[in-house]
Amino acid sequence: MNMRGAQIVCKSLLREGCDVVFGIPGGAILPLYQTLPEFPDLRHILVRHEQGAAHAADGYARVTGKPGVAFATSGPGATNLVTGIAAAQMDSVPMVIVTGQVGRPSIGTDAFQETDITGITLPITKHNFLVMEAKDIARVIKEAFFIANSGRPGPVLVDIPRDVFMEEVDYEEPLELDLPGYKPTISGNNRQIKKASALIQSAKRPVILAGHGVIISRAYDELKELAERAQIPVITTLLGISCFPEDHVLWTGWPGMHGMAYSSLALDEADLIVALGMRFDDRITGNAEKFSSKSKKIHVDIDPSEIGKIIPVDVPIVGDVKDVLVKLNELVEPSTHSDWLKRIETLKKDHPSLRLPETDKLLARQVIRDISEITEGNATIVTGVGQHQMWAAQHYEFKNPCSLLTSGGSGTMGYEVPAAMGAQVASPDGTVWSIAGDGGFQMTLCELATIVENKLPVKFAILNNGFLGMVRQWQEIFFESSYVSTGYSGNPDFVKLAEAYGIKGIRVTDKTQVKTAIQDAMEHDGPVLIDFIVEQEENVYPMIPSGMTVKDMIEEPSSERVTV
């Protein structure tokens, strides 16, 4: 059957199970766009900025577990994606991005809107392709989806010159995948798993440190089984949050720079860390040399290059977390660790970490607690980056797996608006709350138009402190409160702004209005934006300054009066 390259792209996307694409057209990719009407099952969501397309695809991918798909044109369209691609790469999010490129004869001539996007994205994609012949498109897209969502997931970019979209070739279903250099190890080595089981058996003070890999591999039940069977407390990483229910007795918070003090202390006292699908990020380890120095480490990860990268490991296991846990659970004998669990209880009691001061002031933390209470921990929470992100991670009580979407590895402000949009597209009936910073929100707020256009009922909570709050906090603590370029005196009226987009806007300036506003937002059938005018100079605690250790932790400001 004769088909044009553009038709093959659409057909291949559908074959891979793609049902929605986020993007913006332009000259080089126009032949693809003009083909879309022939493929009504491929829903295209027209975003307002390509960064939004990338983050939306990311949000969609995290929620569905399927690769998110984005389109952009050559040159500026493609470069606008870069921030979103880098964020997805850092957090192992599967995406397939199709970019238009200038026509083949023009490549290398600095033609209008020519950018070497495969060159630019080389270090921030899992893999990328420049497709120089239409006959290769079907195979490349099949490979792109496979690479994006197998092994350790990540973004894959497919760059297609304009004339390749228009080239007509005889379409053939792609054959079996032939990627001799790409064979992820899924199945964990039995001998290693036996060693791990023996270590777990002999440990007195074991902890599980569960990362994003548990969510990616959807290994929630297996994690719970291991934890309960061997009575091991579960600490998660920031991206691992929600992989283990927070109302479970074994749940022991998340550690690190702004994590709970008791989590960091538990890691420090442990004699065994069972690290599952995580990568010992510096936000967790602080000074890696002094990190949890009394413990042995079992490290399970699907990416061999993560093992031994930061921390020497006693039992490395390469494989999919779920596969490894299933096998491990067969070997591990039930145990109790009652002394250790008592110790953890004491740590939790002595270092509660998340107490709120008694005050009539409107605290961002209070807002998160109220959202948590009113949504009963069942919402999907999407955050930006900064203080509000840390508070959301700390104070929202996540009940459902995979319900926190946050740019952990790359820390990309502006993630909160488009990623929430993607999450809502992925889960049309789910409750999606975007916990936004007044700074980050302004980086991508143009997507409010997309949200309205597509009738997406995202609820926005702007925690408006009038500052680039997290940076201001560093300035306060490390630079004697010299607030250089972190105060916003010209923020727009966010309520009017929402209304300009046709979104219901609510302003909250007083503690007593918080719950009503959240309830109103929940009851409103459509998107809502609440502008919470919160205390400006609150800090996130606990805090372990970068590169330091648990001993350097600032648990909470000593002067505050606190209640639990």
Partner 1 sequence: MTTTTDKHTITALVEDQPGVLNRISSMFRRRGYNISSLAVGQSETDGLSRMTFVVEGDPETVEMVAKNLHKLVEVIKVVNISSGNTVSRELALVRVNADVTTRSEIMQIVDIFRAKIVDVSQGTLIVEVTGDENKVDSLVDLLRTFGVHEVMRTGTIAMSRGVSYEEDTPG
Ligand X SMILES: Cc1ncc(C[n+]2csc(CCOP(=O)(O)OP(=O)(O)O)c2C)c(N)n1
Binding residues for ligand X (CB under 6 A): 384-388, 411-414, 437-440, 463, 465, 467-471
Opening angle at CA 378, ends 65 and 427, nearest 5: 40
Identify which of residues 377 and 437 has a Cβ nearer to Mg ion in the complex: 437
Burial class (CB in 10 A: 0-12, 13-18, 19+), 126: buried
Tokens representing 370 are: 């109220």
What, of Mg ion, ligand X, partner 1, none, does residue 122 touch, CB below 5 to 8 Å by kind? partner 1
Question: Shortest approach of ligand X to residue 9 CB, angstroms?
Answer: 31
Identify which of residues 145 and 467 has a Cβ nearer to Mg ion in the complex: 467
Question: Shortest approach of Mg ion to residue 386 CB, angstroms?
Answer: 6
Question: Shortest approach of ligand X to residue 471 CB, angstroms?
Answer: 5
Candidate residues 85, 147, 324, 347; the one interacting with partner 1 per rule CB under 8 A: 147
Identity of residue 305? S
Identify which of residues 318 and 321 has a Cβ nearer to partner 1 in the complex: 318
Candidate residues 73, 92, 99, 118; the one interacting with partner 1 per rule CB under 8 A: 118
What, of Mg ion, ligand X, partner 1, none, does residue 153 touch, CB below 5 to 8 Å by kind? none
Question: Shortest approach of ligand X to residue 257 CB, angstroms?
Answer: 12
Question: Shortest approach of partner 1 to residue 340 CB, angstroms?
Answer: 32
Identify which of residues 305 and 481 has a Cβ nearer to partner 1 in the complex: 305
Q: Which of 347, 365, 151, 339 is nearest to 261 (CA)?
A: 347
Identify which of residues 5 and 469 has a Cβ nearer to Mg ion in the complex: 469
Question: Shortest approach of ligand X to residue 474 CB, angstroms?
Answer: 9
Q: What CA–CA distance (Å, rounded) separates 149 from 94? A: 5
Identify which of residues 98 and 362 has a Cβ nearer to ligand X in the complex: 362
Q: Are 201 and 169 in contact (CB under 8 A)?
A: no
Q: What CA–CA distance (Å, rounded) separates 468 from 495? A: 20
By the rule CB under 8 A, 305 interacts with partner 1 = yes
By the rule CB under 8 A, 130 interacts with partner 1 = yes
Tokens representing 240 are: 């691992």
Q: What CA–CA distance (Å, rounded) separates 226 from 105? A: 58
By the rule CB under 5 A, 68 interacts with Mg ion = no
Identify which of residues 65 and 304 has a Cβ nearer to partner 1 in the complex: 304
By the rule CB under 8 A, 149 interacts with partner 1 = no
CA distances from 204 to 233, 267, 340 (A): 12, 13, 7
By the rule CB under 8 A, 275 interacts with partner 1 = no
By the rule CB under 8 A, 119 interacts with partner 1 = yes
Q: b/e map of 274-293 (b: 16 or more CB within 10 Å)?
A: bbbbbbbbebbbbeeeebbe
What one-character-per-residue DSSP string does 413-462 give?
A: TTTHHHHHHHHHHHSTTS-EEEEEEHHHHHHHTTHHHHHHHTT---EEEE
Identify which of residues 40 and 123 has a Cβ nearer to partner 1 in the complex: 123
Tokens 């093959």, residue?
8
**Sheet with 432-437, edge to edge strand ranges:** 404-405, 380-383, 432-437, 459-464, 528-533, 504-508
Inter-axis angle of helices 261-269 and 338-350, nearest 10: 150
Identity of residue 80? N
Question: Shortest approach of Mg ion to residue 436 CB, angstroms?
Answer: 9
Q: What CA–CA distance (Å, rounded) separates 465 from 488? A: 9
Whether the bond between 557 and the residue before it is cis, its omega within 30 degrees of 0, is no
Q: Are 72 and 78 in contact (CB under 8 A)?
A: yes
Identify which of residues 11 and 279 has a Cβ nearer to partner 1 in the complex: 279
By the rule CB under 5 A, 384 interacts with Mg ion = no
Q: What are phi and psi of 39, to 5 degrees?
A: -125, 70
Q: Are 388 and 539 in contact (CB under 8 A)?
A: no
Identify which of residues 5 and 439 has a Cβ nearer to ligand X in the complex: 439
Identify which of residues 182 and 474 has a Cβ nearer to partner 1 in the complex: 182
What, of Mg ion, ligand X, partner 1, none, does residue 440 touch, CB below 5 to 8 Å by kind? ligand X
Question: Shortest approach of ligand X to residue 466 CB, angstroms?
Answer: 8
Report how many helices (DSSP H) and strands (DSSP E) the chain contains, helices first.
23, 21
Q: What CA–CA distance (Å, rounded) separates 141 from 156? A: 10
What, of Mg ion, partner 1, ligand X, none, does residue 385 touch, CB below 5 to 8 Å by kind? ligand X
Candidate residues 229, 309, 355, 504; the one interacting with partner 1 per rule CB under 8 A: 309
Q: Which stretch binds partner 1 (CB under 8 A): 119-127, 291-299, 378-386, 450-458?
A: 119-127
Question: Shortest approach of partner 1 to residue 137 CB, angstroms?
Answer: 17
What, of partner 1, Mg ion, ligand X, none, does residue 470 touch, CB below 5 to 8 Å by kind? ligand X
Q: Which stretch binds partner 1 (CB under 8 A): 123-131, 348-356, 504-512, 528-536?
A: 123-131
CA 68 to chain centre: 13
Neighbours of 503 (CB within 10 A): 20
Identify which of residues 148 and 498 has a Cβ nearer to Mg ion in the complex: 498
What, of partner 1, ligand X, Mg ion, none, does residue 127 touch, CB below 5 to 8 Å by kind? partner 1
Binding to Mg ion, residues 389-448 (CB under 5 A): 437-439
Q: Which of 75, 157, 77 is nearest to 124 (CA)?
A: 157
Q: Are 40 and 87 in contact (CB under 8 A)?
A: no
Identity of residue 34? Q
What, of Mg ion, partner 1, ligand X, none, does residue 384 touch, CB below 5 to 8 Å by kind? ligand X
Identify which of residues 60 and 541 has a Cβ nearer to Mg ion in the complex: 541
Q: Are 301 and 307 in contact (CB under 8 A)?
A: yes
Q: Which stretch binds partner 1 (CB under 8 A): 268-276, 300-308, 423-431, 475-483?
A: 300-308
Positions in the binding site for partner 1 (CB under 8 A)? 118-119, 122-123, 126-127, 130, 147, 179-182, 185, 303-305, 308-309, 318
Binding site for Mg ion (CB under 5 A): 437-439, 465, 467, 469
